[in-house]
Amino acid sequence: MVEAKDVRVGEWVLFNREPYKVKRRETVTAGTHMHSKIKFIMAGLFSPGEKSAVYSHHDRLELAELEFKSGQVISLVGNKCQIMDSRSYEIVDAEISPESEIREGMNVLFVYYNGKNIITGESR
């Protein structure tokens, strides 16, 4: 947990139990005798578009613990695939959506979050 005043642009925070990356940070004042607040403009890892949230400087936020990796898809079985990590050569399992265009041999970017590996896109 970290206070809102200590969160910086580029950090990942949990918002509605999902990881969001802080894109912009603004100081907002509501009136002449009000305390200032911090407004975060964030982009979700799993949600499209941007969201904004306003916090008091001393509100406590939880940082998201994400580990970004790249690898190659080794095999596909139903809605799961096996990926070989490019750095450690470890084989990990990941879930894929039925409409995804993942195929064997493809290089992908994935993130380890909340005990699961989730494919976020194709590696270039």
How does pLDDT run across 77-119, given as a tens digit for each residue?
888 899 999 999 999 998 887 777 888 989 999 888 888 888 8
The C-alpha atoms of residue 86 and residue 38 are separated, in whole angstroms, by 39
Query: Please, what's the largest Cα pairwise distance for the chain?
Result: 61
Q: Which helix (H) or strand (E) holds 40?
A: strand 37-44
The C-alpha atoms of residue 5 and residue 25 are separated, in whole angstroms, by 10
Compute CA 13 distance to the chain's CA centroid, rounded to the nearest angstrom.
Answer: 8
Best CATH choice for the domain 67-122 from the list 3.40.50.300, 3.30.420.280, 3.10.50.40, 2.40.50.140 = 2.40.50.140
Check residue 95 and give its pLDDT: 83
The C-alpha atoms of residue 90 and residue 53 are separated, in whole angstroms, by 38
Q: CATH 2.30.30.30 occupies which residues in the chain?
A: 2-61
- Is the pLDDT assigned to residue 124 strictly greater than 70? no
How does pLDDT run across 5-37, given as a tens digit for each residue?
999 999 999 998 889 999 999 988 877 777 889
Residue 122's pLDDT band (boundaries 50, 70, 90)?
confident
User: pTM for this structure?
Assistant: 0.77
Task: State the CATH class of domain 2-61.
Answer: mainly beta
